[in-house]
Structure 1
Amino acid sequence: MKYKHTLIMLAVTFFSHYCIAQAGNGTAADDFKPASTNQPGKKYPQVTAGGKVRASIAAPQALKVQLDIGGKKYDMVKDETGVWTGESMPQDEGFHYYQLNIDGASVPDPGSLCFYGAGRWGSGIEIPASDQDFFALKDVPHGLLSENIYFSKITNAWRRCFVYTPAGYTENSKTRYPVLYLQHGSFEDETGWATQGKANLILDNLVADKKAVSMIIVMDNGYAYVPQDTAAANKRMPSFGTFEKVMVNEIIPMIDTKFRTITNREHRAIAGLSMGANQTVRILMNNLGKFSFFGGFSGTANYPSTEAIDPATFMDGKFKDGEAFNKQVKIFFLGLGTKEPNPFPGSVGAFRAMLDKQGIKHVYYESPQTAHEWLTWRRDLQQFASLVFKD
């Protein structure tokens, strides 16, 4: 009897391991571990080094549950306790928004931290990146990320920005710093660069490695509306002109007053991703007396057009004098992921062709194997920040 019992236990153990291996397709790469973006103590969602995502949720009354990530929905399977579990195909490394779909209703995963993106607060997951050391939390001097609330007379509303001050800012009370104004993309907000983008950690690490100049970074909300523009506000459509006014007439003067900045164009940069790139290149060209550096990450002012640009008419001819432009703008940076979807490659390509035609100097960087996503923009920021404010 003991011998028979032992055989049964061995069979059960073998079968359990077999089932686990089958759930992960039986490869060494399918070593699922809790994601770094999970809520404290939560076992799911999980990720593998190969980029697969496994989600799990208790929903005993549900008829159908899916994992919605990377533009595809994956069916999940319910066990005898009412817990649904499922996994995705490998995802690109980096940060991704995702959600669960329960009987047709898309909801956040209760195991994930929440992030603002895609026009909502929802789930996000970090797929381990091969180069994640540059934005990792390390034992280096760290700057301070603070929330700055202010009232905008232009929009007649309370607004806020997040301000990164570098390590040593508090101790070195007489030192003044250059400023980078850094904008998010469409359907995101001022929290994006500080959370999904890890801008503070990128700068901490760059400065610690002596690869970048210590700087202040200001991250504001690119959605700004005058009181009568309720239709655009309700649709969350960007008002580029209004945000430009807020930036130039309210944000910059406020930052120069509250923080120890160097208040000239040679020590002021502006950059943004996607929609933010479109916004900031327009702000730059309309205010060349205020900025010397520009970074456009996955976006340009001609988006979504891929047609050839006529510099004589584009943006009222602001790019037609390449020689004058080169004297005013020290660094004009453009970044793009190698896997970006259309029309981004064509749009950025047409813009670069116009710059080349006008003899406008620019720096172009391609993020390998990333699409229109935060790892692309983190890499862009790392490259851009290492270039600006240097002699």
Structure 2
Amino acid sequence: MSCYVSHAMNIRLFARPLLLLGLLPALGWAQSATGDFQPASSNLSGAEYPKISADARVSVRLKAPDATKVQVQGGDGLQKDPLDLVKDAEGNWNGTIPSAGPGFHYYWFIVDGVRVNDPGSDAYLGYGRPTSGIEIPTPNEDFHLLKAVPHGSVREHWYQSNITSKWRRAFVYTPPGYDENPKKRYPILYLLHGAGENERGWSLQGHMSAILDNLIAEKKATPMIVVMDNGYALVPNEAPANTPGDMVKRAATLEQVYLKEIIPTMETAYRTLPGRENRAMAGLSMGGLQTMLIGMKHVDLFSHYGFFSGAIFGDMLADPKTAFNGAFADAKAFNNKVKVLWFGAGSEEKRFVEMAADACKKLGDLGIKSTYYESPGTYHEWHTWRRCLHEFAPLLFK
């Protein structure tokens, strides 16, 4: 059985509210029809640069009068290879990125070989360090923007982990009306971030709360609680994961943190509905890998799964019938238990498209039902994952 392919798309005990500062830059941006460059909505207050044109070119500037060479670089979808900048008489280095894809992008300057952030933009944790970010407007797409609808809250929740001997932090989204309806209980989604990022990513870079608020207001998604915990978990003296193989090994510690600490903590602190049918797990890139490694071993706990550009590599599914303690061995039983098995990737991140398609086909050959979605024109980047969440969330808890 082949997987269903969807291309449809309309284009934290301390708990306190988290201001949705990461969403605000996406609002109030306008350009003239003539293509004039305008300051990016994501700029820090008063910063003139970077600027964006109506056709998505990005003009950058860095004042470094003593530098001998300055370049700008970003991830796929912005400026993959370093772009040389030109120095003017005032000591400013200027240049224009010729074409930027929609949504959020990381970027940085390289000054005489040293990577530095843009003082005109806010920084987000990406590539394992604070990194500048820019929002490129998304014509005809507003599903991820703040709208005049009821809003949920994102809370910062700290808890002590006995497994890692550290305090850990999660960001927890509670849907609109959660505080006003103290007797109502909700299903729960555990949403994981990618490598080099942390538990802030889905709220800030991903705009997940705006996405969920809008879907709930449109009655397209079931109101749910979303837990965004840190995807790194090490026991004392355990070395960090630096390779794909290490990620697989380290997932065993994260698995224990989820089973013994995250799930019990969150489902005690928040009003959740009981049972596996009210519990989902999804993640992007490394988080997709962790969803596979943890979630597929515990279909007794979860009934909905999402893999957004999931790093499902190597021989993980070489023999899908015996993988994950035989989770897929009985297709009929699996299909009866797992309501959603969802794969998504950006059309331009070819390796991840191939991995998703391969997993989907292997499982389909066993009779396992799944859905595959491809985000048109996007790379291994946040707009791919924003779109994935927008397509995945309406399928949950129906």
Interval of TM-score (by shorter of Structure 1 and Structure 2): 0.7 to 0.9
Give 2:36's aligned amino acid. Answer: D
Q: Which residue of 1 aligns with 2:175?
A: 166
- Displacement after TM superposition at 1:345 (Å): 2.1
Preserved CA contact (<8 Å) 2:59 2:97: yes
**Could you tell me whether the CA contact under 8 Å between 1:337 and 1:368 is conserved in 2?**
yes
The question of whether the paired residues in 2 share the 8 Å contact of 1:141 and 1:208 is answered with yes
**2: distance between equivalents of 1:388 and 1:138?**
22
Q: Does 2:359 correspond to 1:351?
A: yes
1:131/1:385 Cα in 2 relative to 1: closer, same or farther (>3 Å)? farther
The CA deviation at 1:316 is 4.0
Whole-angstrom distance in 2 between the partners of 1:90 and 1:149: 41
Corresponding position of 2:253 = 242
Residues 1:99 and 2:108 are matched in the alignment:
yes
- Which 5+ residue runs of structure 1 have no aligned equivalent? 1-26
Q: Which residue of 2 is the match for residue 9 of structure 1?
A: none
What are the equivalent positions in structure 2 for 1:1-391 lying under 5 Å apart?
30-69=35-74, 70-229=79-238, 231-232=239-240, 238=247, 239-301=250-312, 303-304=313-314, 309-342=318-351, 344-390=352-398
Matched residue type, 2:285: S
Counterpart CA distance in 2 for 1:129 and 1:161 is: 29
Letter of the 2:104 partner, please give it.
F
Distance in 1 separating the partners of 2:107 and 2:34:
22
Corresponding residue SS for 2:109: strand
Which runs of 5 or more structure 2 residues have no equivalent in the other structure? 1-31
Structure-2 separation of matches of 1:311 and 1:166:
37
CA distance in 2, matches of 1:201, 1:308: 35
User: CA separation in 1, counterparts of 2:177 and 2:371?
Assistant: 30
Identify the structure with bigger relative contact order (alpha carbons < 8 Å, sequence gap 6+).
Answer: 2
What CA deviation, in whole Å up to 9, does each residue of 1:55-76 have, x standing for no partner?
A: 1121111111111122111111
The structure carrying a bigger helix percent of its residues is 1
Tell me, in whole angstroms, the C-alpha distance in 2 between the residues paired with 1:183 and 1:267.
17
TM-score (norm 2): 0.86
Q: TM-score when scaled to structure 1?
A: 0.88
Residues matched between the structures, number: 360
Q: 1:309 Cα deviation (Å)?
A: 3.1
Q: Is the 8 A contact 2:61 2:93 kept in 1?
A: yes
CA distance in 2, matches of 1:314, 1:347: 16
CA deviation digits over 1:298-326, x for unaligned, max 9?
Answer: 1153x156x98322343343222211110
CA distance in 2, matches of 1:81, 1:41: 20
- Code of the residue aligned with 2:97 in structure 1: it is S
CA offsets per residue over residues 318-366 of structure 1, 9 Å max, x none? 2222111101101111111111132x12221211111110111112111
Shift of 1:249: 0.9
* Residues 297, 325 of structure 2: 8 Å contact kept: no
Match of 1:14 in 2: none
Q: Which amino acid in the other structure matches residue 52 of structure 1?
A: R
SS of structure 2 residue aligned to 1:90: coil
The SS at the match of 2:354 is: helix
Q: Distance in 2 between matches of 1:294 and 1:335?
A: 11
2:141 maps to amino acid: Q
After TM superposition, give the deviation of residue 131 of structure 1 in Å: 4.1
Higher Rg: 1
Q: Percent identity?
A: 49
Distance 1:173 1:300 in 2: 39
The C-alpha deviation readout for 1:94-114, integer Å capped at 9, x for no partner, is 211110111111100000111
Contact 1:304 1:347 in 2 (8 A): no
Structure 2 counterpart of 1:255, which letter? M
Quick one: distance in 2 between partners of 1:223 and 1:51?
35
8 Å CA contact retained: 2:317, 2:323: no
Kindly indicate whether the alpha-carbon contact (under 8 Å) linking 1:225 and 1:233 is maintained by their aligned counterparts in 2.
no
